[in-house]
Amino acid sequence: MLELSDITAGYAGNAPVIRDISLSITPGEAVGLLGPSGCGKSTLARVAALLHHPDAGTLVVDGTPVRRWRHRAPREQRTAFGVVFQQARLSADPRLALTDLIAEPLRATGLREGIADRVAELAATVGLTTDLLSRRPHEVSDGQLQRACLARALVLRPRWLVCDEMTAMLDASTTAALVRVVEEYRAATGAGLLAVGHDRVLLDRWCDRTVEWATLTRP
């Protein structure tokens, strides 16, 4: 269970951008989050994925309250999340070949063995051909890079996926392919999903339920 309760969060030196927001996702559930631009969906998604420290409120992940965020979060909690952002180019180290990009979380956790096999397996899963794996981000298309970012998000077999407008920059066929990869992964592992987006039709089709931002604030 992912339980965000009364979350207030913002950015240094400014007033909070979200206030008293609550959202719960049951194990294995897929929840779509819709709301107007700038309302704070990404901020909430980042709090949920332990990437942004809230000013107030609580987050409980699978029964364990989160006390630290970002690099201070315990590895077990941090690695429970796989995150894919809208702008793959901003979230990909431009110096890394796609193979190393996908392997990054494995190396960060100190793993040394089985990396090549795991990367090959995931590359096939997301539809990246072998010749693309030695290229760096500027040598591949947005869709190919986003496929690599999705592979990176799955590489540690997370229990939760946070897809923040993952497909906003992509064409219809790449969107369908990436959503299918996420759904196959969820079917195989029982992982839960928070999918932030603007496309109600896509979210309704993809997720078990779609929530409107306005309903997350206490009356």
Ligand X SMILES: Nc1ncnc2c1ncn2[C@@H]1O[C@H](COP(=O)(O)OP(=O)(O)OP(=O)(O)O)[C@@H](O)[C@H]1O
End-to-end CA distance of the chain: 24
Stretch that binds ligand X, among 10-18, 51-59, 149-157, 200-208 (CB under 6 A): 10-18
As measured in angstroms, the least distance from the Cβ of 18 to ligand X is 7
Nearer to ligand X, 83 or 156 (CB): 83
Distance, C-alpha 196 to centroid of its chain: 9
**Closer of 48 and 178 to ligand X (Cβ):** 48
Helix, strand, coil percentages in the chain from 3-state DSSP, rounded to 5:
40, 20, 35
Based on the shown chain and the rule CB under 6 A, indicate whether residue 60 belongs to the binding site for ligand X. Answer: no
Cβ-based nearer residue to ligand X, 40 or 158: 40
Q: Which is nearer to ligand X, 148 or 196 (CB)?
A: 196
CB nearer ligand X, residue 45 or residue 103: 45
Of residues 39 and 106, the one with the C-beta less far from ligand X: 39
Which helix (H) or strand (E) element contains residue 195?
A: strand 192-197
Q: Under a CB-based contact definition with an 8 Å cutoff, are residues 22 and 4 in contact?
A: yes
Interface residues for ligand X in 69-128 (CB under 6 A)? none
Q: What angle do CA 200, 202, 206 make, to 5 degrees?
A: 115
**β partners of residue 211:** 33
Site string for ligand X, 16-45 (x = CB under 6 A): -x-----------------x-xxxxxxx--
11 binds ligand X (CB under 6 A): yes
> Total number of residues binding ligand X (CB under 6 A)?
11
| Residue 15 binds ligand X (CB under 6 A) | no
Residue found by looking up tokens 């190919």 in the block: 144
To ligand X, the closest distance from the beta carbon of 44 in angstroms equals 7
**With left for phi above 0 and alpha for psi between -120 and 50, is residue 12 left, alpha or beta?**
beta
CB 51, min distance to ligand X, A: 12
**Alpha helices (H) in the chain, listed in sequence order:** 41-48, 75-78, 88-91, 98-108, 115-126, 142-154, 172-189, 200-206
Residues that bind ligand X (CB under 6 A): 11, 14, 17, 35, 37-43
